Structure 1
Amino acid sequence: MPYLTQLADVARRTGHPVTEVAGWKRRGHGPQPEVQGIVCHHTAGPAGGGDYPSLGVVRDGRPGLDGPLSHFGLGRSGRIYVIAAGRCWHNAPSTSPRHDNSSSLGIEAENDGRQPWPQVQLDAYRRLCAELCREFGLPAARVRAHREVNTSKPDPHSIAMTEFRAAVAALVNGAPAPDSWTEEIMKELPMIRPGDDNFDVKTVRGCLFARGHVPPTAYAEIEEGLAGWLESTRCDDGLVALVREFQQAKGLPDDGLVGPRTWAPLLRV
């Protein structure tokens, strides 16, 4: 296989915001030989520090292990970071020949190994795995936790992989999301109100853009343009107006609040 330069397009199909890390298309320990499996990790990085503070380590490596260490990063906000198109040192030694470094793709999700998983991050995790399964013709059974294919690893913590794979399989097959986790997502996602300033606001911005509800006029006066608009964590008047327009388009009460009824079409769950 060549370098997998389609990975950013695959990530965008999830509907979650995507960051292409500079140089990713030629980053890797040579080309990726094949894709027979997907390995899910957590970073064991800091408990704070923003959306994806482990980017530098995953991209560049650490003492004794050169980067890249994974093809994808997954931020707490559900943002997907495309880091490398070539082979990555993310699982060795592997107990599965389909999940070693030469045969699998790695996803490093930001988590310190103890903190609760944000539901939007879990949704992005499932959807990214589903889109990768579609792209490479894999069954959901090929999605494995690091701990399932490496006896010395504990990650990703607390994710029940049987349920996780069932959700991935439903997404791959185009079936409705299983009620057990769809309802959980809707209950756990935060209410976004005018004036809020947090990373969940960035998720709203990314989803609105992915759904085609961010016109160029929304960021025309921002120095950094669209990139700056997407990175803003503030729920300002302009964003509230776009939320109301989205709600009107979906036949929802146009109160400008992002609660369960608005999160569902934003995330398409």
Structure 2
Amino acid sequence: MATPLSATAFVDVLRAERLVVVGEPGWRDRNRNAVGPWGPVHGVMLHHTVTRGTASTVRVVRDGYAGLPGPLCHGMIAKDGQVHLVGYGRANHAGLGDPSVLRAVIAETALPGDREASVDGNRAFYGFECENLGDGVDPWPDVQLQAIEAVSAALCRAHGWGAGSVIGHLEWQPGKVDPRGFAMPWMRSRIAGLLGSGEPGPLPDPVAPMVSLSRLLAAAGSNPSMPGTPVTYDGVLVVESALVDEGLLAKKLMDGHYGSSTFPAMSAWQERCGFRGRKRGQAADGYPGWSSLTALGAKHHFTVIN
């Protein structure tokens, strides 16, 4: 448990790690302190943004979006390794999480599964969003990974924490998948190496994401006619990303739901694969099928499983 650093000390400890830190205008006073306390802090939480492009990503994490006002983190770690500070104080990044996870972070013991969401994490963690689509395909440049390690180590060093005080959003709140594309135990081993308490592991080899056809069909069949009700499934993001790259789906419509936007995009892809007809039950009806989905996976480097 620790009192949050002052804004000046915060930026100083980051720069002491030889990070390139960009203070976005007004970052020191942009927060959500009016709706709840900031601190005591217990650790650092990492996220991915599901965005592409540094300037647009900074705008999103600074300003937020409908239903979730900014700031959405304290700093955004860009693909080039620069750290953009967008707010300081309480930020809308962590949400409610598992109290047993918080106890483990405080004790720096093995993390239990995150099974409930009942403890406020926005007051308790420094939050860093990392520029990445989070689809398992978008790469994590070495310079960005090294910046993530250095940011985490800087704050751990400042508070006397070990690498066990750094967690991913997916370890805190049920249903979250971020950060996706590297393993948090591996990241903690890298941070431990910077802190001098362990040997850092090598950079991970890229792993092709796997998409379950049965889960994708379940997501597609979960009442797509009603906006906001389809099942969220991270495999949908992989498929949506491929459809975006094919020019069949607008990037802004990527949301992890197999819904009203995904169906026509998949139908168009199925027609490219030689299938015809867009009515329910026809070969190009937008419901994912083995042949068209496998063809999409072969082109965009994901694996389809039953």
TM-score (norm: length of structure 2)? 0.54
Kindly report which structure 2 residues correspond to 1:1-269, keeping only aligned pairs within 5 A, or say none: 1=3, 4-5=6-7, 6-30=9-33, 32-46=38-52, 49=53, 51-95=54-98, 96-97=101-102, 100-114=121-135, 115-173=138-196, 178=200, 180-181=202-203
Q: Deviations over 1:82-129 (max 9, x none)?
A: 122211110112113368111111000000113010110000001110
| Residue aligning to 2:252 | none
Q: Once the 2 structures are TM-superposed, how far is the Cα of residue 179 of structure 1 from its aligned partner? A: 5.8
CA shift in 2, pair 1:22/1:144, >3 Å: same
Aligned-partner Cα distance in 2 for 1:149–1:52: 28
Q: Return 94-103 or 5-14, whichever deviates more.
A: 94-103
Query: In the alignment, is the contact (CA less than 8 A) between 2:190 and 2:201 conserved in 1?
Result: no
Aligned-partner Cα distance in 2 for 1:41–1:2: 20
CA shift in 2, pair 1:142/1:3, >3 Å: closer
Aligned-partner Cα distance in 2 for 1:2–1:139: 16
Q: Which has the higher contact order (CA 8 A, sep 6+)?
A: 1
CA shift in 2, pair 1:15/1:2, >3 Å: closer
CA shift in 2, pair 1:160/1:179, >3 Å: closer
Aligned-partner Cα distance in 2 for 1:131–1:101: 20
Q: Once the 2 structures are TM-superposed, how far is the Cα of residue 15 of structure 1 from its aligned partner? A: 1.4
Q: Once the 2 structures are TM-superposed, how far is the Cα of residue 139 of structure 1 from its aligned partner? A: 1.6
Aligned-partner Cα distance in 1 for 2:161–2:86: 21
Q: Deviations over 1:170-229 (max 9, x none)?
A: 111277x63624x99xxxxxxxxxxxxxxxxxxxxxxxxxxxxxxxxxxxxxxxxxxxxx
Compare CA radii of gyration and give the structure with the larger one: 2
Query: In the alignment, is the contact (CA less than 8 A) between 1:3 and 1:32 conserved in 2?
Result: no
Query: In the alignment, is the contact (CA less than 8 A) between 2:47 and 2:130 conserved in 1?
Result: yes
Aligned-partner Cα distance in 1 for 2:147–2:4: 26
Aligned-partner Cα distance in 2 for 1:162–1:3: 26
CA shift in 2, pair 1:52/1:13, >3 Å: farther
Q: Return 79-88 or 165-174, whichever deviates more.
A: 165-174
AA paired with 1:122?
L
Aligned-partner Cα distance in 1 for 2:44–2:132: 18
Q: Once the 2 structures are TM-superposed, how far is the Cα of residue 37 of structure 1 from its aligned partner? A: 1.2
Q: State the secondary structure of the residue aligned to 1:180.
A: coil
Query: In the alignment, is the contact (CA less than 8 A) between 1:14 and 1:124 conserved in 2?
Result: no
Q: State the secondary structure of the residue aligned to 1:22.
A: coil
Query: In the alignment, is the contact (CA less than 8 A) between 2:186 and 2:201 conserved in 1?
Result: no
Gap regions ≥5 residues in structure 2: 106-119, 206-306
Q: State the secondary structure of the residue aligned to 2:123.
A: coil
Q: Once the 2 structures are TM-superposed, how far is the Cα of residue 52 of structure 1 from its aligned partner? A: 4.6
Query: In the alignment, is the contact (CA less than 8 A) between 1:69 and 1:88 conserved in 2?
Result: yes
CA shift in 2, pair 1:61/1:3, >3 Å: farther
Aligned-partner Cα distance in 1 for 2:5–2:153: 20
Q: Percent identity?
A: 34
Pairs aligned (count): 179
Q: State the secondary structure of the residue aligned to 1:54.
A: helix
Q: Once the 2 structures are TM-superposed, how far is the Cα of residue 32 of structure 1 from its aligned partner? A: 2.5
Q: State the secondary structure of the residue aligned to 1:170.
A: helix
